[in-house]
Structure 1
Amino acid sequence: MQHDERPTGSPLDGLEGLITPPVSRRGFVMTSLIGGLTLATTRVEAQAIRTDSEGIEAGEVAIPTGDGPMPGYRAVPRGEGPFPIVLVIEEIFGVHDYIKDICRRLAKAGYCAVAPELYARQGDLATMTDVQVILRDVIAKTPDAQWIADLDATAAWAASAARGDGKRLGAMGWCRGGRATWLYAAHRADLKAAIAWYGPLGGERTPIQPRTAGDVAAEIKAPLLALYGGQDAGIPVAAVEEARDRARAAGRSVELVVYPEAPHGFHADYRPSYRKAQAEDGWSRALAFLKANGVG
């Protein structure tokens, strides 16, 4: 009989079913975060929200992982804490000013918010200007096991070194990060709440990305708030409803909110897709959801 020789405490522990081991690590291509907004999509910089740092501490950090420091951004209220932790999961564009601002908004609301650069090993998103290149050369080549382990490392760091409370842990992600939110909710038993902003439920299955968000809907371990746009050309509302229904049939908790007139990316205030009313309503719901489920 063949035995699993992985030691206890391996980054792969608890990931069976979501990944295909083994996962090989590689060096970090990005050692610092993007300055400004992404170059890879149309920007409307005049409408971008800019949250100040009054009353909080905010800035770039180095998050310890098994193969070296990973760049990230942390914002936390001033004071001793510990403060509830929210893992902020980026879009495909990297931890740029929009994601950093979200961290500051969460810190203003009383959270230790940390956004790790989950694609730091696969490519330098600061220099990329073509969405298709990012999808092909970065997103498709990032193993799910890698970023799941990196989120675990981020949560551990936030609890031990960033005044975070590891017993009050939530996750929130946008677009590709919304997909990651579903998968992470299926992975982590002590996650208290998950919020997925228009995360795709389907997609291609590959050896390094073996399951879709829809595949794991019935396995989520934390209550999940799903915020989606009715005019999202890439994510049919029926697919989200199917995932919700599959989760509920398995006794899981999914609250789905669909904004009928909203497109994909309606929360991205730096893009033409931004819809202020829906974004603000979703944000209010997200904060209330965190608190209602013990992350607050």
Structure 2
Amino acid sequence: MVTLTRPDGTRPEDLHLSRRGLTLALTGGYAVAAWSAQAQPVKTDEAGLVTGMVELASPDRALPAYVARPAKAGRHPAVVVVSEIFGLHEYIRDTCRRLAKAGYVAIAPDYFARVGDLSSKTDFQEILRLVATANDRQVTGDTAAAVAFLKGQPFADAKRIAVTGFCWGGNVVWETCARLPDFKAGVAWYGRLAGGHAANDAEGKTPIELAADLKAPVLGLYAEKDNGIPLADVEKMKAALAAAGKTGSSLVVYPGAQHGFHADYRPSYSKEAAEDGWNKMLAFFRQHGV
């Protein structure tokens, strides 16, 4: 396992990637700035699924989103998938297909469409600068647009909607569950608790400070060796949830795991932690009616 020196990913030069390795990342649709030279990402087929791009009616523009759902007729529970800082690339699309195989309608908005394709960029500081343009109001509006889309579809059960997200998206999960009443559950994968996206929060609040406002229970999945999220922040969030009486929410810490342990195209990937977290996520959704 490669020890990461950057909490949100690595740059190609950190891993000494060959030109061939970068080409594989680009042609495969994966984020170049976090691609591992040893990556063997999970690839989920589309058998029994309906997949494709749709447009969401966000407050300021039409926003692209990827949808994967069971081909089987009827209304299915739904999950909004919030990406990492690298946006809507192949890892996020594959995650949607995995959820669809589990019986869900999965929708992943392209939160960074306004500033371009972040997955093709290699300058990490440029990526962070562009990510910072997605402020709290915009992100909440985009997520609400995804919910509105689901509510208008004959294949989605509007009464059974959850949200999950990774890294930047994990931070958004906490904030979204404090702001929107539409979700029955949320699962946050290593989302920052005392900073990150919350720095753009119009109210200046972090997820820890929003604990009392949660409108849905959240399961947080965290890593012991995360260089960007200290375990002290995890303990502060646990205390904030307890103080607010949010007994349905909890946090799990995976010993030895690093930030990004679910991302199978990154050097931080941990198969054991990723699979256990995935099973815990699905069980959490079912526990709360999704």
Cα pair 1:41 1:131 within 8 Å, conserved: no
- State the TM-score, normalizing by the size of structure 1: 0.84
- State the TM-score, normalizing by the size of structure 2: 0.85
Q: Distance in 2 between matches of 1:287 and 1:130?
A: 35
Selected match of 1:201 from 193, 196, 209 = 193
Alpha-carbon distance change, 35 to 68 in structure 1, aligned in 2, over 3 angstroms? farther
Q: Distance in 2 between matches of 1:263 and 1:180?
A: 20
* Equivalent residue number for residue 212 of structure 1: 206
Selected match of 2:86 from 63, 88, 93 = 93
Q: Distance in 2 between matches of 1:67 and 1:196?
A: 27
The offset of 1:199, in angstroms, is: 0.3
Alpha-carbon distance change, 184 to 261 in structure 1, aligned in 2, over 3 angstroms? same
Selected match of 2:276 from 268, 277, 281 = 281
What percentage of aligned pairs have identical amino acids?
A: 46
- Aligned pair 1:245/2:239, yes or no? yes
* Equivalent residue number for residue 174 of structure 1: 166
Output one character per residue of 1:241-263: Cα deviation in whole Å (capped at 9) or x when no partner.
Answer: 21122112111132211001100
- Aligned pair 1:160/2:152, yes or no? yes
- Provide the aligned length of Structure 1 versus Structure 2: 261
* Equivalent residue number for residue 11 of structure 1: none
Structure having the larger proportion of residues in helix: 2
In structure 2, the gaps of 5 or more residues are 1-26
- Aligned pair 1:72/2:65, yes or no? yes
Cα pair 2:135 2:200 within 8 Å, conserved: no
Alpha-carbon distance change, 93 to 162 in structure 1, aligned in 2, over 3 angstroms? farther
| AA partner of residue 163 (structure 2) | A
| AA partner of residue 289 (structure 2) | G
Q: Distance in 2 between matches of 1:206 and 1:50?
A: 34
SS at match of 1:100: helix
Q: Distance in 2 between matches of 1:46 and 1:207?
A: 35
| AA partner of residue 164 (structure 2) | M
| AA partner of residue 146 (structure 2) | T
In structure 1, the gaps of 5 or more residues are 1-33
Selected match of 2:47 from 54, 58, 70 = 54
